Each structure stands twice: as structure tokens, then as C-alpha cells.
Structure 1
Amino acid sequence: MNKNQAPRDRPWPEFPTSKGLGSFGDANCMEQLLVHCANAIESNDATLAQQILWVLNNIAPPDGDSNQRLTCAFLRALIVRAAKSGTCKLLAAMANARCNLAIENHKFSVVELASFVDLTPWHRFGFTAANAAILEAVEGYSVIHIVDFSLTHCMQIPTLIDAIANRVEGPPLLKLTVAGATEDIPPMLDLSYEELGAKLVNFARYRNIMLEFRVIPSSYTDGFASFIEQLRVQHLVQAESGEALVINCHMMLHCIPEETLSPLPEVPDSNSCPYEPSTLSSLRTMFLKALRGLDPTIVVLVDEDADLTSNNLVCRLRSAFNYLWIPYDTVDTFLRQGSKQRQWYEADICWKIENVIAYEGLQRVERLEPKGRWVQRMRDAGFRGLELGEEVVSEVRGMLDEHAAGWGVKKEEEDHLVLTWKGHNVVFATAWAPA
């Protein structure tokens, strides 16, 4: 297209010929192209959106380098958004076959998921830091009740059982209550929580630990209100036994709706629910206050350190693009192209990108908040930070030695730990107790 054909009110340069596409291949330019495409879709400018789509399809193949694969995933998510919203209807038809709209998320066996999680420090960092903090907090307790809010289907628990089994004072009675979320969010497991619980009970028995397993069906959309209520009743009955109550939150709390989804659901009977209705509090705030009401021994909070909460599509796209390049960049260091595990890994990232870009309201569960915001939430809910000492840092560094050289760990204010990739924040780990 030549200059004379381009409308002057569009802040867009002359489109290149196919021979000149190479200059569009750097990450910054790809990000700008995606931003322009998003703006065109939101303003229902089908012509401009299709022109940008043509460029992106030619410079971002799904089997290209990490930046190209990242851009392809965002392009695909924008097409899904356009198809869902009914704007730019021709966009879906313009999609190149290389940007297949179908995401096939693998359902893992327990063995597959355990191996999959071990491929990268993305989850292992949180497991290692949390387990070390938990072990220190429950020292001397003969009964330990662990409440697990985790997207990784208890993959952290076997290592924790191993560590507890080696305690000097001998193994305790271990109780495990799992928030069995009803929504499907990757990674997904190919067996029920009841079957998973049976496997964990058998593993604990092998390590000479008595484990009581319980799963409570729950939902992110109500801020786990029904789960917390059942837990509260259970804990009131058992609190006199002097058991340690451990709340383990691993990359699940960001699925709870935040302030942008007010007004909050009505609560018919405040006596039967730990959440009191308020237009001034988010479900996240109320959830944390409900946890504080349980008077736990320790709360461990691990999540990804990014901000994907903006209601503005372009702001959200920029934030996601400047965070989710990391998993695409790291995958090249440990999985060969074309391997099944790499397909599974990148399908999970694609799912996250689609959820951030193509969905709104309660369907958009990938609402990450940065560490600083969670820290303030925890303080406001009545918690004080616990130090993650040098022993914890040493264990994390030992784990990172098993992975690529680009991974690192740093201590930030108040002794919170942050996993980094090439100096960029990835995941944070914090520990808390009632103030």
C-alpha cells in the first residue's frame, strides 16, 4: 500500500512489501503492531486491523524464535477477542493457518505433571521457599493442618511430606485440605482429587506419616467464600487440639475477582458466611480477612510478579507482553523444538494470553497483581511479614543450580524473595503470620 492510499488520521507508517518485513521483526516493533491491531479492533476498524494482521502473520510464525512465538500467541488472542465481540468479523477469516485458534491443553497424569513442574523454577521456586518457611513455622507441633490453594494440584506436597518425615521430633499427624476449584485452568490433571488424595495418603504412609486428606469443591468467583466457611467450622472444632494451621497459597489467589468487578455478590445471612457484604472491599480483601479470622500459624503467598488488572485492553496487552516474553525465552533453554512437553508448555502460556486479552468479567481469571499490592493487602488484613532467612535462600539457590544460568533469586524489602530471569522479576514468595 502506498502513502497516497493511507488515511492521514491513522498514526501508522507506510506498510512494507514482503521483502521489507525483516525490519519489523524486533520485539518493540511487534509490540507496537499488536497495540495498533488492538486499537483497530476496539474501534471496529476492520480495514486497518486486517492490514496489521497481514504484517503480523508474515513476521510472527508460530514456529519462529521466542519473540515471534510470543507475538503469534497475542495475535491469535486478538483474533479470538474480535470473533467473540463481533467486531471486525472479517478478522477471523483473515487469520493465517499458522495461527490456529484452537488451544489443545494436555491433561497430565500425576507422573507427567510432576516431571513437567520440575522442568523450570517457575513453580519449584515457590515450592522450595514455601516448604522451608512452613517447616520452620510448624516445628514442635504434633498435628499439622495444611490448607492448599494451588493451581498445581498438590505437586508441592510430596516434597513437604518428605521433609516433615525427617523431623528430629518425629513425624506429626498431617491433615491436608485442598481447594478443589471447579473451573478448568491449566495445568489440568487427568484424575479426580479423590484419586489424587489416595495417592498422597499412600505416599505419606510409605514415609511413616498418617495423612488425612479432604477436598472441598470451591470457586474463585465467590472468593472461595463457601470453602472458607466450611474450613472455619472445621477449624473451630479442632482448634482446641493445638494443631498448626498452615495456609499455602500458590498462584491461585490472582484468580479471585478484584475491585473492578464490583458490586459484590449479596450475602443472605452474615452469620453463616465469613464475608460481610461491603461495596468498599474486594473479594480478595475479604478472602484475606477471612483467613486472618482463622488465626493461622503461617500463611505462605507465592504468585507471579506482574500487573494484569487493567480494564484498558492496550494497557493489559503491554503489561502481558512485557511479562510473558519470559516463559517463551526460557523454554528454549530446556525443551527442544517440536517436543510434546514444549507443546504442552507453550499451550499453557497461550491459554493465559488468550484469557488476558480475549475475555472480560468473571471469565478473565488471569488478573495478576504485583508483589507490592499483595503485601499491602496482607497488612491491611491484619498480617505481619515473616523473614525468609538465609537457610531458605540457600535452598532456593541450590534448586536454581539445577536450571539454566539465567535464573536468579534476590531479597527485596522485608525479606521477601523474588525469582528472576535475566534480572527481571518473575515470581515472588512471602510468608505471613497474624499481627
Structure 2
Amino acid sequence: MDATFDKPKVSNFFYSNQQGNALVNMHNSDQLRSSQTSTSRSSESSDLGGTGKWAAKLLRECAKAISEKDSARIHHLLWMLNELASPYGDCEQKLAAHFLQALFCKATESGNRCYKTLTSVAEKGHSFDSARKMTLKFQEVSPWTTFGHVASNGAILDALEGETKLHIIDISHTFCTQWPTLLEALATRNDETPRLRLTVVVMASMSNLVMKEVGQRMEKFARLMGVPFEFRVVAGLAQLADLTHEELGLREDEAVAVNCIGALRHVSVEERPSVVRMLRSFRPKVVTIVEEEADFTSTRGDFVECFEECLRFYSVFFEMLEESFVPTSNERLMLERESSRSIVSLLACGGDGGGECERRERGSQWCGRLREAFSPAGFSDDVVDDVKALLKRYRAGWSFVPAKGDESGLYLMWKEEAVVWVSAWKP
């Protein structure tokens, strides 16, 4: 359709709503439509039910209307979603609320401005303590992040066995929560405790004060464990491909491991081959990669396809949060707001730098790219046993499976849905 969408005012759709549960039972969509727009449309049934999966259905309809530039239907569906959605309701209401924001931004071409505002608000409202508490609580109730930590640490320890001088290049945004268990493992080795240098490459907006505190905590723990330890930070890079040997301070007598957790999805798709070659140039003994299992690259040219993949991934994520956290958890709310910003970036931001580059790729896609510079290292039986022991600490619903065919690595599963991929590679 060629209809031009008349951009509504934000206030028309984003006012406070406390009646989401009651409105789920509304059946007469003609009455709803007439209160929002004077456009005459044929009668349609919208029996949403009180307990069904109504959010995905309405969101899909809205995404389709935006793709077709159906102005009247966009107005109707945005209004209807706003009546039903709530960021403080059940899982369906939350899913609707966060996707509604992105769809509204897409329809009004306000995604870049909205994303910058959301990011600014988050940065002002989050302290290091609150972010650290959120990270640790998430690790306590869900293996979403600890799965990658345990498998990566095991692969690194296996690859660096017998080395006396270690250098780990950490390209991630985990506040170094991965490394205390590795330090403990080094301290309990039968042979001489090796020296460890940890270089953290910071691409996100963590302040120098935050990283200074992280470093002090790590140094204190290393002293407690009796591990000779050096901590440094590399920050201020415009893009990851700019990382150089000189900035990392690579030394000939050190065994190098590169650890990438959730960082490569922030690299633009066009830059990824050069980043892979850069990692190989560091001559590492092992490279560990952890990424969430979703494809936001091959679908980026088609809004509806990208929306479907985004909806699939975040439906699983929000359901997992619903079952892992208590309803009143502040940490859960912070994670949901982070997801909301990512959804806006993915669905509503153009290519002019308004939203961060966050184009996830599936493990199969990464395997194809990484094989151009590396060979799969695999995981030992001991590492697999460690992963099994980890998952036993969490509620039912979690499992893992090895990659099949030409793929490499392990997949973390939530109720039979792959959500996180971890792999290890060697030159």
C-alpha cells in the first residue's frame, strides 16, 4: 500500500496504563478502533482471550502494517497494544510493552533519538554497584552467562596447561566476573603457580572509575589466591579492529589466550572478517567465543523477517527471566530495560549511528567465518563434566547439546531452544 503514515504524538500511545489485564478480555475491536481513528474499516474479530499468547499475534500484525505502510491499521494496532501492554505486568504484557516502543519508533522514524535518550537515562541511573549486583544475581538464578564462563575457562586452562607466563586478552562486558574461578583453579594447580596478565579491552561505555574498581577487586582476589597477577585496561578504541599488538603489550615469553564473550556482535558485519584476522595475528594458544544464538544479520534487509527473529529470541529471553526471577526483582527489571534498548536499536534505528551495532549471528554463521583463520579446539571431557555440574545448580529446563556437522562448540538450551553458543578455536 502507498498510504502515508501520519506520525502520531508520543503521548497518544505512551501514557500510564494500569488496566492491561482487564483489557485483554475485550472482544469488540470496532469500538476500540473508533475511539482512536475516524478511518472506517471493516469489522474484525479480535478475541484475545485472558491467558493466551496474545502479544506475539498483535505485534506481528503491527509489524506487517508498518511494512505495508497501512496508516490506519498502524494507528489502531499501536493504540490497542498500548492499552494491553505494561512493563510491570506479566510476561505477555512486558513483551508487548517493549516491542511496542520499538514499533512506535519505527513507525514515526524516531528510533535513533529514542535510543540515545534511553541510553542516556540508563547511564545516569546505573551505578557500578547496581550493575554488578544485576550481573551477579543473573548468574545466580540462570546459567545464561555462567555457561559460557565455565566452558571458556576450561578451554583456556587446557590450552595453557604447563605454561608459566599467561596473558589473557578479555574482550567482553562481564565486569571480570568470569575470572575469580580461573584464578582459583590456577592457585590449586599441582605445578608452579603461573604468572597471569589480564588485559581487558573495553568497548562499552564503562567509565575509568568502574574499571579501576574492577581491577582493584581482581588484584585483591589474586593476592588472596597467591597468584602473581597484573591487570590493565585498553579503552578508547573507535572500533575493535583498531586493537594493536603495542596496545596489548604482547610479550614473546607469554602464552596468549583471547576470550570474547558477547563482544563480537557489537562489531559491524563488514568488519568481522578483519577482526577474526586480527585475533589470529596475536598468535593465541586458544580463542574462546561466546555469543547468543540469534540471526540479526541475514534478515536486516527485510523488516518483517528481522522483526520475527527478534520476537522469537526475546520471547524466549523474557520467558526465561519470568521463570528465573521473583516478580519484584530490580535486577530482572534492569535486564528487561537493557533488552528494550536492544530491541529499539535492532528494529527502529537507521544506519547513521543512532543505535549501537548489535547484529547477532548464530553459531553456524560464526563457525563459517572463524574456520577461515582457525581450527576448532573442542572441549575436553573434564570441561563437559564441569558444564553438566553447573546446570544441575539451576532450575529444570536447562540443558546443553554439542554442535553437529560442520559446526563446533556447545549450545545452551532453554526448554529445547538454543540460546547461547560457546566454542574454542586454535590457530
Q: TM-score, normalised by structure 2?
A: 0.81
For 1:420, what is the secondary structure of its paired residue? strand
Q: Which residue, out of 146, 151, 154, partners 2:176?
A: 154
Do structure 1's residue 53 and structure 2's residue 75 form an aligned pair?
A: no
Do structure 1's residue 389 and structure 2's residue 380 form an aligned pair?
A: yes
1:32 deviation in Å? 4.0
- CA distance change for structure 1 residues 15 and 64 in 2, over 3 Å: closer, same or farther? farther
Q: What is the CA–CA distance in structure 2 between the aligned matches of 1:405 and 1:86, rounded to whole Å?
A: 38
1:160 deviation in Å? 1.3
- CA distance change for structure 1 residues 33 and 210 in 2, over 3 Å: closer, same or farther? same
Q: Which residue, out of 418, 423, 427, partners 1:430?
A: 423
Letter of the structure 1 residue corresponding to residue 422 of structure 2: A
**Counterpart in 1 of 2:244?**
228
For 2:395, what is the secondary structure of its paired residue? coil
Tell me the C-alpha RMSD between the 2 structures. 2.9
For 2:424, what is the secondary structure of its paired residue? strand
Do structure 1's residue 308 and structure 2's residue 300 form an aligned pair?
A: no
Measured against aligned partners, the alpha-carbon deviations of 1:314-338 in whole angstroms (never above 9, x if no partner) come to: 1111001111112211122232112
> How is 1:64-103 mapped onto 2 (pairs within 5 angstroms)?
64-85=89-110
Letter of the structure 2 residue corresponding to residue 388 of structure 1: F
Do structure 1's residue 199 and structure 2's residue 226 form an aligned pair?
A: no
Q: What is the CA–CA distance in structure 1 between the aligned matches of 2:326 and 2:246, rounded to whole Å?
A: 45
Q: Which residue, out of 281, 285, 293, partners 1:293?
A: 281
**Counterpart in 2 of 1:246?**
257
Measured against aligned partners, the alpha-carbon deviations of 1:2-28 in whole angstroms (never above 9, x if no partner) come to: 59x99xxx9x984447xx4427x744x
Q: Which runs of 5+ in 1 are unaligned?
A: 93-99, 259-281
Contact 2:139/2:145 (<8 A) preserved = yes
Letter of the structure 2 residue corresponding to residue 306 of structure 1: A
Q: TM-score, normalised by structure 1?
A: 0.79
1:148 deviation in Å? 0.3
Q: What is the CA–CA distance in structure 2 between the aligned matches of 1:365 and 1:340, rounded to whole Å?
A: 27
Do structure 1's residue 406 and structure 2's residue 397 form an aligned pair?
A: yes
For 2:144, what is the secondary structure of its paired residue? helix
- CA distance change for structure 1 residues 405 and 153 in 2, over 3 Å: closer, same or farther? same
- CA distance change for structure 1 residues 78 and 176 in 2, over 3 Å: closer, same or farther? same
- CA distance change for structure 1 residues 430 and 218 in 2, over 3 Å: closer, same or farther? farther
> How is 1:29-40 mapped onto 2 (pairs within 5 angstroms)?
30-40=55-65
For 2:49, what is the secondary structure of its paired residue? helix
1:290 deviation in Å? 1.2
1:286 deviation in Å? 0.4
For 1:22, what is the secondary structure of its paired residue? coil
1:39 deviation in Å? 3.9
Q: Which residue, out of 348, 354, 358, partners 2:348?
A: 358
Do structure 1's residue 342 and structure 2's residue 332 form an aligned pair?
A: yes
> How is 1:99-248 mapped onto 2 (pairs within 5 angstroms)?
104=122, 106-109=126-129, 112=133, 113-181=135-203, 183-184=204-205, 191-219=209-237, 222=239, 224-231=240-247, 234-235=249-250, 238-239=251-252, 241=253, 243-248=254-259
Contact 2:367/2:408 (<8 A) preserved = no
Q: Which residue, out of 352, 366, 371, partners 2:363?
A: 371
1:68 deviation in Å? 2.9
Q: What is the CA–CA distance in structure 1 between the aligned matches of 2:162 and 2:398, rounded to whole Å?
A: 34
Q: Percent identity of the aligned residues? A: 31
Do structure 1's residue 321 and structure 2's residue 311 form an aligned pair?
A: yes
1:284 deviation in Å? 0.5
For 2:276, what is the secondary structure of its paired residue? helix
Q: What is the CA–CA distance in structure 2 between the aligned matches of 1:190 and 1:358, rounded to whole Å?
A: 31
